[in-house]
Amino acid sequence: YFDTAFSSNWAEKKDGKYFFKKPNILPHIFEIIVRYLYCGQLDLNVKNGPDTLKLLVATEELGLNILSEYIQEFLIKNQKKILQNDPIGILEVAFQHETYATLRDYGIEAICQEPNILFGTDKIISLPAQILESLLKRDDLVLDEIEGTNQIVGGYNPLDWEGGGIIKDTQDSFIFNFTDFRDINTGKIGRVTSASYALICNHQWGPIFGNGHDLSMYPDNQNNKWYSNPMTYPNLNIPRNFEIDDYEAYQVVKK
């Protein structure tokens, strides 16, 4: 390992000292790894969930395969506790790296068995589209019937909302509808079918998905009124006209 670590590809030697440039690894995480390399000791039980995930990602970047496997085994063994505290974090890490396929599968299965870890909380709102789609494709969910409904509709725009009266082209946008956000079985995703009319930017209208205004806010958000006219996206049975309690917009920033 040290032959690779001290090579010119990883480190710069200056005045007899080696300088590592690993901006993605926090100092205290790197200190844990160095202690492990020299002493061969690592107690993950005293680490919190976020630090354990950061440590896992760091071992991947540094090529420490044995340590990476050990951390994954720990996460799988203790996944319920970690998922309850940080379900988005552990799933995002698992989906970003193909080598974490086992961890990803265990995490998905755990949520399918106990969906309230994620669904039934406001954490679902920030769930990345790739993970949400994987969950929606599952058929092994164990859910209790919930009286009443709490509907959430929305969409994903991979571009931006800049410009006035501009139609934007993308194949990656989609809209979704949960008739009860606490019940994953009620969720549907509709990917754009006509990329040339995926999105429309209009400062007066607000976000518009689709040429037929498949999901759109009335001009100036009149009395919180929205409507849906399926044309550019599949029909998800979103009400033609409806009022909302609130709406939120998030921006995904790639690091």
Does 255 score more than 90 pLDDT?
Answer: no
Residue 67 pLDDT grade (very low, low, confident, very high; cuts 50, 70, 90): confident
223 shares its domain with 205: yes
CA-derived radius of gyration, the chain: 23
Instruction: Report the candidate in 231, 202, 232 with the shortest Cα–Cα distance to residue 217.
Output: 202
Per-range mean pLDDT, top range of 9-13, 237-241, 245-249: 237-241
Question: In 10 A of CB 107, how many CB atoms?
Answer: 25
Residue 5 pLDDT grade (very low, low, confident, very high; cuts 50, 70, 90): low
CA atoms within 13 A of residue 245's CA, in its CB half-sphere: 4
Q: Examine the fold and report which residue of 87, 110, 142 is the final residue of a domain before the chain moves on.
A: 142
Instruction: Report the candidate in 143, 153, 244, 156 with the shortest Cα–Cα distance to residue 199.
Output: 156
Does 149 score more than 70 pLDDT?
Answer: no
φ, ψ at 240 (rounded to 5°)? -60, -45
Secondary structure E strands in 197-240: 199-201, 208-209, 215-217, 225-227
175 shares its domain with 134: no
Domains: count for the chain: 2
**Residue 8: its pLDDT value, please?**
54
Q: Examine the fold and report which residue of 123, 142, 161 is the final residue of a domain before the chain moves on.
A: 142
Angle of helix 129-136 relative to helix 87-96, nearest 10 degrees, comes to 90
131 shares its domain with 174: no
Identify the residue with better confidence: 127 or 188: 188
CATH of the domain at 112: 3.30.710
Sheet holding 225-227, edge to edge: 166-168, 199-201, 208-209, 215-217, 225-227, 241-243
109 shares its domain with 188: no
Identify the residue with better confidence: 150 or 121: 150
37 shares its domain with 159: no
132 shares its domain with 174: no
128 shares its domain with 198: no
251 shares its domain with 156: yes
Buried b / exposed e along 217-246 (16+ C-beta atoms within 10 A): bbeeeeeeebebbbebbeebebeeeeeeee
**Residue 9: its pLDDT value, please?**
60
90 shares its domain with 130: yes
Does 24 score more than 60 pLDDT?
Answer: yes
Give mean pLDDT, residues 171-183.
Answer: 82
> What's 180's DSSP letter?
B
193 shares its domain with 121: no
Range of the domain at 236: 149-255
**Residue 169: its pLDDT value, please?**
92
**Residue 253: its pLDDT value, please?**
55
Question: In 10 A of CB 144, how many CB atoms?
Answer: 8
Give mean pLDDT, residues 213-234.
Answer: 81
Q: Examine the fold and report which residue of 104, 120, 142 is the final residue of a domain before the chain moves on.
A: 142
Residue 192 pLDDT grade (very low, low, confident, very high; cuts 50, 70, 90): very high
234 shares its domain with 185: yes
Give mean pLDDT, residues 57-86.
Answer: 80
111 shares its domain with 203: no
Identify the residue with better confidence: 213 or 169: 169
